[in-house]
Structures are given as C-alpha cells and as structure tokens.
A and B are shown apart, each in its own frame.
Chain A
Amino acid sequence: MSAVSPTLASGSAQEALFEEDRLGKAYDVRLMARLWPFVSPYWPQMLLTLSLLVPLLLLDLLPAWLVKTGLDEIIVPAATGLPPAAAEPGLLGSLPGFVREAAEGLAQGFRALLHPPAGLDPLAWIGVLYFGVSVLGALFQFLDMWIMARTGQAAMRDLRGRVFRHVQRLHIGFFDTMPVGRLVTRATNDVENVAEMFSAGIVALVRDVLKMLGIAAFLFVFQPRIALLAFLIVPFMAVAAMVFRWKARNAYRAVRVRIARINAYVQENVSGMRVVQLFRREARNFQDFDQMNASHRDAWLQSVRYDAALFSSVELASNLTIAVVIWQSMGLAAAGTIYVFFDLMRRFFMPLRDLSAKYSVMQSSMASCERIFELMDEEPEVQDRPGAVAPHRGPQPGSVEFRNVWFRYAKGGDEADWVLRDVSFRVEPGERVAFVGATGAGKTTLIKLLTRLYDTTRGEITIDGVELRDWPQEALRRRISLVLQDVFLFTGSIHENIGLERPGIDAEAVERIARVVQAHGFVAGLPRGYAEPLRERGQNFSLGQRQLLSFARALAHGGDILILDEATSSIDAETESQVQQGIHALMTGHTALVVAHRLSTIRDVDRIYVLDHGRIVEAGNHSTLLARDGTYRALYRLQYSQQGDPAAAAR
C-alpha cells in the first residue's frame, strides 16, 4: 500500500505553475519604457528634480571649501604667524581657457562672499556661512525627496487604478486558474514595491552616481596626485560591489519565491480554517508552514551576510583613503587641503554604504514591475467589437436563439472535450424554458455563453436577433438579469446590494422589489432594516437569505431576459414556493431561461430541453416529456422515488 503524497506544501508539477519564480533583474530597460507612460504626465516634476542636481552637488562641495578657507587663511596663519599658503595650482591651469575662466569667475564670486560684513569676525562669518549652506542643502534635499516620492506615489495611484480596471475586464476563465491572493498582491504590494523605486531605488542611485562623479572630478581638478592615490581603492570597491551584486541576486530571488509561497499558504488556511479545524489538521499544517517559514529565514541569512560584507568594506575603504591622504600630503598639502579630502571622500563613500539596500529595492521593484505588466499583457478573451453599439430595438426584441453552437473550454483539445455539441434552440419573446440534465451535461455552460462570459467555439447565439459578438458587453448584460448558483453579495448595506447604486432605484423601489421576492419579511426584522450591513461575502446571513437577496438584486437589475441558474438549491420548499410566486409574477412578459436540478421548480415552463453530454436529447413540455419513455422520465422517476413521494414512486 503506497501512502498518498505526504504534504500539501511539497510542490507537484502543477503547483509549479503557481509559483512566482521571477528572476529579479535590478534594471530592465524594457520595463522602464513601459513604466514611462505612467510617469510621463508628471514630467515637470521630473525635470525639477533633475535641475536640483546641480545645486545639490554645489551645496555638497561648499561646506568643505568654507572650512578649508577658514583653516588656511585665518586659523593656521594666526597660530603659526606665517602668511597664508599660496593657492596650489592643481589641474586648473591645464584646463581649456573658457572652463578656467568660468572656474576663476566662480572662485572670485566665492571670495567676495567670504568677505565678512563690517564688524563681524571673519571666522564667525565663515561659521554663519557654513550653517547657512547646510540649511540650504537640507532644504534642497527635502524638496528633492518630496517631489520624487510624491511623483512616485501619484504614478502608482494611476497604475493601481489601471490594474484594477484591467483585471475586471479579463474574461472569466482567467480567474479559474489565477488565485485571488495573487491578483490582490499585484495591485497592492507589487505597486508599493514599484513606488519604492522612486523614493529609494533607481532615481536615488542615478543621483548618487552623478554626485560621486562630481565629487571625484572636483578632487582631481583640485589635487590630482592625492586624488589619484586616494581613488586607487575605488576599482577594488567596484569589484567587491560586482561580486556582491551577483551573489545577492540569487539570495534575494530565493527569498522572494519563498515568501510568496508562505503568503499563499496563510491566505488559503485562513479561508479554509473551518475545514482545517474540523479535520484536526492544525499540527500537520503547522509543520508544513514551519518548513516554508524556516527556508525563507535561511535564504535571508544568506543575503544578510553579503549585505554586511559590503557595508564593512565601504567603511574600511573610507578609512584607508584617509590613511593614504595623510601619507601623501607629507610636505605637500596645507591643513585645509587635507580637510577637503576628508570631508569629500566621506561624502563620496556614503552612498555606497546603502548600495545593497538600494540594489535590493530595485531588484524587487523590477520583479514587481514585471509581474504587473505580465498581468496587464493578459488580453481579455472576450472583447467588444470595435465600434459595437447597443442595438436600439433589434428585429425580434426579447428573443434568444442558439444556432449550431459548439463549445469547449480548452483551446484546441480533442473530440472528448466538447461541452456543448451542436446545440440549437429558439426562445420566443415572453417564453419560459428550462434546461435539465445530469451534472456535466452542459447546462451552466449554456448560461455562460448566453451572458457572453465565453465566446462560442462554433456556431452563433443571438439576442433580439443580433449576434452576441455584435453587442457591447455592458449593453448585453443590462438586458439580462442573472441569478447564479453561487450567491455572492458585497460588503455594504442590503440596500446597496439590491440597488447596486443604479440611478432610479431608491429606498421605495428596493423595498417593493424585496417584497416581490419575499425578502422583505426578514429584512424588516433586522435592527437597521435595509441599512443592515453585510459582512464579507454576506456571511452574517444564511445561505437561503442570501439567495433571496440575490433574487431581489436580479429584479432590481431590470433586464428583460431572466436567467436562473440552479438558483433555488438552498431554499426550503416553503420559501421557494413563495419566491416562485414572485418570480412568476415577474416573468410575465419577459423571456426566462431556467436551469434546474430539481424538477419541481420548473413545473409550468413552456418548454423543457433535456441535455445529455452536451446535446439536446429531448424537448417538450412536462407532460409530453413524461409520456415519452426517455431521459426526462428517467430523471423524474429517480428524483421522486428518492424524495419519497409515494405517488411518483409507484409509477
């Protein structure tokens, strides 16, 4: 005896389909290009942040220069009694004329600024300037962060809205294979991740790199020899960063795949906790969960090591540079020059410290970005024909016709996959017809085709004599009031659930409708009546009550073609007969299609179609079908012998 495969957590081949095994690139031009339309409306803000780069760089350089001036021109001469050291020529002399002139002009202006106002001690003035420059720098920094984050959040708000609308447009089959949790993640966490890119990822990285280049250029111009030796360490750092990048990439990817699995598992267990508890699976499921959780932790421990290694090496590099600067300054540089190197090299290395954090942010942004666009690329299978308009009043208003309809869910597929085979029938305006048959006979599929949740594989369906593909989906669905087997109600009040905020459906109308379907009785007994809130999925009402509410919703919808898909399965006979009265009253003058397991619910329809393995095998009204010794009669006897009606069983 072989044991059944041991755990729910262990991945089977099919489960692999659901995994988010996305390789996280840190930067992907293709994805950035696709993100552009969401960012481009905010181009003035983008331009503004770019223009902030120059003042930000200048404000980074200025403080060091101020201290240098103080040291070399005021403090040291006063302490040693020697005249200020002559300015060192640096590379400035070898620069092309106009650059040199510009630089000298700047230096002139700077000197004028340094001249203290009358009565102020020159050193004090430098202190004031130093603080003023710092305040200005902080302000620009704030402005930069604020604009960037704001732009990111606004773009992400737009993206979130777009994802939501796109998901709603996808055709129904898509949702059969895509877990809800995953779709929710797309529009929430994934979008959040992309927003991070604006505040901490690529944008910050570009800014940091430009800043580092600016600082390096300045130091080379200022003191080429010291700069050259001080920057010797940079290539080593670059190699370290590359190695880190390569290692971290795999670690982060493992982390993400594992956390996705954990979250899916929690979501599923929360939804099905009743079953977990009933079947005492707690210990077993916890064991599975613990395993996933531990493997996620271990993946992180890997990445922590790379992160810490990079962090310490940056600090080390920064300190070694200082050692090099001291050594190289011997007999060459003034105190001020050493100071400038200390300050600027520190600013140079600072961004490298959280490179790993930024790298991780970018990687996860890109992975999220890719997942979002993959979802956006999903084309809705059922689409409105371009320029489709709702027919005013078709040639045969209220009529429904199936003409040689074939359908299978699988694309391609073989003969055995046909769910409907050559189905043809016609329902005249105002007629009531029913479809019966065994499970899997194709009844529900028929309804899905009629509401155009799927398109037919072959053949055509018309409503009002107009082909379904020529209808805009919304206009089509406004014509149809559908009551489904699975009742789904939304969070909100009873009133909102019935009226769906349609114009023209006020409190009075809602109550009138509720009376028709016999829902008013229990609603009136609620403390807040029609304002009583429904919890998630309407859990605070019994299944039967929910079905009554879904009836009311269908009536309020006001379509003139009524479809009931196993709608009364959870209603007791007494309530059902009341509801039937309401429905009958409504059905007069409307076309109605009813799918039923219980033959009792279809006693007086005009015509019954019996489906078997996707074909219509019998058609007629109740008595003619019963008189014939066919499938219907067999179904009928079976149901009533089992339901225990002596009269029926005797037949």
Chain B
Amino acid sequence: MRRLAGYIAHHPVYYGVWLVVTLVYVAGFVALPRLVGWGIEALSAGLPESEVLRRVGWLAVVAILTAAVRFFTRTLVFNAARQIEYELRNDIFAHLQRLPQSFYFQWRTGDLMSRCVNDINAVRLLMGVGLLNVIQTPILYVAVVGAMATMNAELALYVLAPYPLFLVIARLAGRSIHHWSLRTQEGIAEASNHLQECISGISVVKAYAMEGLTGRRFDAVNESLYQRQLRLVRANAAMPTVTSLLPALAMCLVVQVGGADIMAGRMPVSDFFIFSMYVFQITFPTFIMGWVVALVQRGAASMQRIDELLSVEPSICDAANARSLPRLSGEIEFRGLDFDYPGEVGRAPVLRGIDLHVPAGSTLGVVGTVGSGKSTLASLVPRLFEVDDGQLFVDGIDINQLSLATLRGHIAMVPQEPFLFSASLADNIAFGRPDASREEVAAASRRAQLEADVRELPAGYETFVGERGVMLSGGQRQRTALARALLLDPSILILDDTLSAVDARTEARIQRELSSVYRGRTVIVVSSRVGVVREADQIAVLDGGRIVERGDHATLLAAQGLYARLAREQAPPAASQGPT
C-alpha cells in the first residue's frame, strides 16, 4: 500500500482540486435537505404559492449547482485512477524488462499475465470508485452529523447510533472477501496456466491421445475455481445485505423519536422531512460502502500481488561504477567459474571450476554430452544469468563491472530455441537495430541463407511471421535468428546449437558464409556435433559441468578421450564398411 501512496503523491494537483470540489459538493449535499424542509415549512404554515415557489426555486438552483460539481468529483478521481493505472502498467512492464532470465524460470507466464491484467484492473477500481467513496463518505457523514446536531442533537444521536456497526461488519466481511478474492485470483491463474500449457503442447496432446487426461485435469482446476468463486460470491452478497439494514434502523428511530418529539410539539413536521432526507442521502453512500469495502479488499490483495512482483530486485543490472566502453576487443576469460541455477537446490552442479581463456578474435568450440552445461556456459557471457564476481572477464574486466549496454551491445547470440516476434520478417531481422536499412537486412539474410526463402514468402520481407514465428518452418526460424544476430556486427558472436533444424546442404552454405563472418570476431560455437567445431582454434569438451578436455581438433582426436569417442560415434555410417 505504501507503493500506491507513492503513485497518489505524484498527482497533487488532481487530488488537491478533487478535495476542494468534494467539499463544495458536500456543502450542497447538506444544504439540499434544509431547503426541502424550508419548502415544506412553507406548505405546512400555509404560506402563499409565490413563497412556496420561491423556496422550491432555490431548491432547484442548488440541485443544479450540486449536480454540476458532482460531475467533477467523479471525473477528477476516475481520471487520476486511469493515470495511475497507466503509470503502474508502464512501471511493471519496465520492471519485467529489467528482470533476469532466472526470474522467468521461476515465474510462470500465466501468473505474470494475470498480475498484468486482472490485478491492475482491481487496483484501478480501488483507486477510482474505491478511493472516491473511502474519502468522500466520511466527509459526508461528518457534514450530515454536524447539520443534524445543530437542529436536534438528541435525535441526531439516535439516528447515527447504528452506523458505527458498519465498521464491525466491514471488518468481519472484509476479511473473508479478501481471503476468497485472493484464492479466486489464484484459481484463475491456475486455469490459465493449465490452458496455456495444453495449447502450447497441443501437438503432443494429440499425438498421445491425452485429451481425456488433460480434460480431467482441467475439470479439477475448473471445479476448484468454481468453489472459490461461490465462496467469494456469498461473501460479496452478504456485505450490502447487512449494510442496507443500517439506514433502515436509522429511519426506524427517526419515526420513533422524531415522531414523539413532533407529538410533544418539540419539533416541527418539516424537521421530520429534513431528518429523513438526511437518512436517505447517506443510504446510498452506506450501501455503496459495503461494495466498496469488497473492492478495496480485492484491490489491496491485488496490489499486494503486484508489489510482490515489483519488489523482485533485478539481480542483473549495472553496477554503481559500471564501465562503458566504445568497443570491445572480444577477449573472454573464465576464472574458476562455478554456476548453479538459482532456486535449484540439490540438483547436480551445473558448471564447476571452468577455466578458459578465449583470445580476442579467436574461435572457441564447446562440445559435450547432454546436460553437460554447454548452453549455460554460453549464456553466461552476455550475463543472462547471475555470475559471481571475479569469475568471468571480458576484455579483462569483470563482466559485473561492465555496463550492460557495452556488454550486450557488442555480443550477438543465436539462442538454441529461436524466438521470433509477431511482426514482419524484416522487423524481426532488424530487431537489434530497428534503424537498419533494407539493404542491410537483405545482406544479413543473404549471409544466413534466408534470401531464397524470402523470395518464396507471400509478402517477402513484409511477411507477418505470426506468434513465435509459427508461419515459418523450424529451419527458417533458426536462420532468421541467425540473420538477426549477424546484422548486429558484434565483437563476440555466440552460436548455441544454432542450425539443428537446418538441412545439411543449407548448413554447409551457412558454414562457408560464417567463416568470413568469424574473421575479426571472437566466436563461441556450442554444439553437440563434433563436426561443427572442428575448425575452432580451441575446443572445450564438457562433461558433468566440468571441462574434461581442451585443445584443437587434431590434439583432441589424438588424446583418445571423450572427444575422440564422440567423433567416432558420429562418423558416417559408411566409413567403416562403405566403398573407398
């Protein structure tokens, strides 16, 4: 909630003006019943029609003025709520952009989305209708109490007696509403996670005839969501029911006590009308209050969820004295690097004691068995994951001391699983350099052997690739990701098993093209295939998170170790038996 107060403090003018307008509105609000009483007084005193009309006319004038002010009490606070919603959404988005990959391992997409969609909505309601009533209603009450007390203090006391009960009701019902709205939000998140997963994996669901299984699982999630919603509905319905009894009790007392006063001649009949008008007037705000309490509770629960997200400290960001360099030479050094994924307790170590020196402009090949840590090793260089100080250096500087702009600005990486955005092919290739010219984009796709494919696409470079690039084939996606990296002109190029879905002929052409790209750059090539790394200046062989062998292709073959074994097993089938 403190965070929310900060957003409110950003808009002193909005809220200041709103407060003033609210006070004016309250003045009109309190005056109206008095004017009604004044009119009725004229009636019961049998005053001439002109006098009655004059009083009624005043009533109408004040009513019009009050309505005009009323317009602003609502628009001001609602507009402010929209403004805060906008700021909050921007802040969340910017925050998400700063969070490291380890965060995205631990938080599910569906969960993040429900915070960005449902929770922001709930907070906006809290800031709009919620705040409006929470601030305005107490002021109304105080004003009405004051007005009634000046007329008939005893009756005022009786009329107001029931209202403190509201606090008790709000507290009791509020707790249960808070609880069940949190649980309902979780239920919705669970359902969307389940759905998201089943749809993303629909080809597996179909291939394994899993529809029955996933359907049963969804039913369970769905039923539990329904049960939670029922509880929430009940809590939500109970609140206005009970609060609507407070004005009823007050009115009952006006009849009793006020009636007795009139019969005893202590009070004119017109005062009876004034008092009942006041009770009517505070009925709607009280009734709404019941609903507002639910809304505030829900908004607070949602703000808590958003706060939880915004409180995650970006563990990868520029150090206070981070250095920015105009250019990197591309020298990379690992010094006794140990690495484990955060939050993965008890798993086998991911990387241990990695010592590697990659001179600027040289090529490093990384091979190894499944799960040996190859991809992890590569993704540490652009600081996608947290590395301890003193373990990884680029250009002789600890990467934690380099600004991210310098580091990532001079590294281009082609990840193992290419992710494309739902935009045109050209936008995707120019992703890292949106200002690139058409010619540059075409040159990069030529180098990635993508150009022939582009010519066959319906709209060429303007073809919309769909979510995650679904409109392209696996090989096309990989080559697009390659083109995207090549366009950057990086000092360090990292290829993480980049061409697994590309056919041999195309791969050969790409390799040929890449050898010219490699010149003058530091290159890290990760592959499970020995053939891909054989030209590398230096090859590191990983097994179980450790470097077990290193050297160039020839040395490693001669060493007769893991590398040689990998190479042999991968040898062409005919090599041993085929014709020579």
**What are the nearest 9 A-B pairs in CB distance?**
A643-B531, A544-B370, A134-B248, A603-B573, A14-B464, A319-B63, A527-B346, A279-B432, A316-B67
- For A169, list chain B residues within 8 Å (CB): 211
Please judge, given known A-B contacts A160-B191, A179-B422, A274-B384, whether A440 and B473 are in contact too, CB under 8 Å: yes
Give me 6 other A-B pairs in contact (C-beta within 8 A), A1-B437, A304-B75, A316-B67 excluded. A268-B421, A308-B70, A322-B36, A477-B208, A603-B573, A645-B571
- Bound-state CA distance A514–B439 (Å) is 51
Please judge, given known A-B contacts A78-B263, A183-B199, A478-B209, whether A1 and B571 are in contact too, CB under 8 Å: no
- Please pick, from A141, A176, A569, A643, the residue contacting B530 in the complex, using a CB distance under 8 A: A643
Among residues of B, the one whose C-beta sits closest to the C-beta of A483 is B207
Show 8 residue pairs from A and B whose CB-CB distance is below 8 angstroms, ordered by the A residue.
Answer: A76-B269, A157-B223, A164-B215, A264-B422, A290-B90, A486-B203, A489-B201, A648-B574
Q: For the complex, is A48 an interface residue (Cβ under 8 Å from B)?
A: no
- Bound-state CA distance A486–B202 (Å) is 12
Please judge, given known A-B contacts A15-B464, A192-B188, A326-B43, whether A572 and B369 are in contact too, CB under 8 Å: yes
Query: Contact at B262–A326, with CB atoms within 8 Å?
Result: no
Among residues of B, the one whose C-beta sits closest to the C-beta of A15 is B464
Q: For the complex, is B233 an interface residue (Cβ under 8 Å from A)?
A: yes
Query: Contact at B245–A134, with CB atoms within 8 Å?
Result: yes
Query: Contact at B52–A648, with CB atoms within 8 Å?
Result: no
Query: Contact at A293–B371, with CB atoms within 8 Å?
Result: no
Please judge, given known A-B contacts A273-B96, A320-B60, A323-B59, whether A199 and B233 are in contact too, CB under 8 Å: yes
Please judge, given known A-B contacts A176-B466, A275-B419, whether A285 and B255 are in contact too, CB under 8 Å: no
- Bound-state CA distance A622–B579 (Å) is 12
| Whole-angstrom distance between the Cβ of B376 and the nearest chain A Cβ | 8
Q: For the complex, is B164 an interface residue (Cβ under 8 Å from A)?
A: no
Q: For the complex, is B507 an interface residue (Cβ under 8 Å from A)?
A: yes
Query: Contact at B56–A127, with CB atoms within 8 Å?
Result: no
- Bound-state CA distance A300–B89 (Å) is 15
Within 8 A of B (CB), among A567-626: 569-577, 597-600, 602-604, 622-623, 626
Q: For the complex, is B151 an interface residue (Cβ under 8 Å from A)?
A: no
Query: Contact at B255–A270, with CB atoms within 8 Å?
Result: no
Please judge, given known A-B contacts A71-B272, A145-B237, A157-B223, whether A575 and B79 are in contact too, CB under 8 Å: no
- Residues 254-277 of B, flagged 1 when their CB comes within 8 A of A and 0 if not, give 011001101101000100110011
Binds A, one of B10-18, B112-120, B327-335, B394-402: B112-120
- Please pick, from A139, A547, A553, the residue contacting B208 in the complex, using a CB distance under 8 A: A553
| Whole-angstrom distance between the Cβ of B555 and the nearest chain A Cβ | 15
Q: For the complex, is B229 an interface residue (Cβ under 8 Å from A)?
A: yes
Query: Contact at B571–A315, with CB atoms within 8 Å?
Result: no
Please judge, given known A-B contacts A164-B218, A176-B466, A276-B97, whether A329 and B43 are in contact too, CB under 8 Å: yes
| Whole-angstrom distance between the Cβ of A151 and the nearest chain B Cβ | 10
- For A267, list chain B residues within 8 Å (CB): 109, 113
Within 8 A of A (CB), among B276-301: 276-277, 280, 284
Query: Contact at B208–A175, with CB atoms within 8 Å?
Result: no
Query: Contact at A168–B506, with CB atoms within 8 Å?
Result: no
- For A279, list chain B residues within 8 Å (CB): 408, 431-432, 484, 488
- For A501, list chain B residues within 8 Å (CB): 213
Q: For the complex, is B391 an interface residue (Cβ under 8 Å from A)?
A: no
Chain B: residues with Cβ within 8 Å of the partner, total of: 202
Within 8 A of A (CB), among B519-540: 528-532, 534
- For A206, list chain B residues within 8 Å (CB): none
| Whole-angstrom distance between the Cβ of B318 and the nearest chain A Cβ | 12
- For B497, list chain A residues within 8 Å (CB): 543, 570
- For B455, list chain A residues within 8 Å (CB): none
Query: Contact at A146–B233, with CB atoms within 8 Å?
Result: yes
A-B pairs with beta carbons under 8 A, tally:
554
- For A641, list chain B residues within 8 Å (CB): 508
- Please pick, from B53, B94, B229, B280, the residue contacting A286 in the complex, using a CB distance under 8 A: B94
Q: For the complex, is A462 an interface residue (Cβ under 8 Å from B)?
A: no
- Bound-state CA distance A381–B205 (Å) is 17
Within 8 A of A (CB), among B44-65: 44, 46, 49, 52-53, 55-57, 59-60, 63-64
- For B39, list chain A residues within 8 Å (CB): 323, 326-327
- For B215, list chain A residues within 8 Å (CB): 161, 164-165, 168
- Bound-state CA distance A529–B245 (Å) is 60
Among residues of A, the one whose C-beta sits closest to the C-beta of B204 is A488
| Whole-angstrom distance between the Cβ of B41 and the nearest chain A Cβ | 10
- Residues 423-440 of A, flagged 1 when their CB comes within 8 A of B and 0 if not, give 000000000000001111
Among residues of B, the one whose C-beta sits closest to the C-beta of A491 is B197
- Please pick, from A78, A604, A642, the residue contacting B504 in the complex, using a CB distance under 8 A: A642
Q: For the complex, is B157 an interface residue (Cβ under 8 Å from A)?
A: no
- For A313, list chain B residues within 8 Å (CB): 67
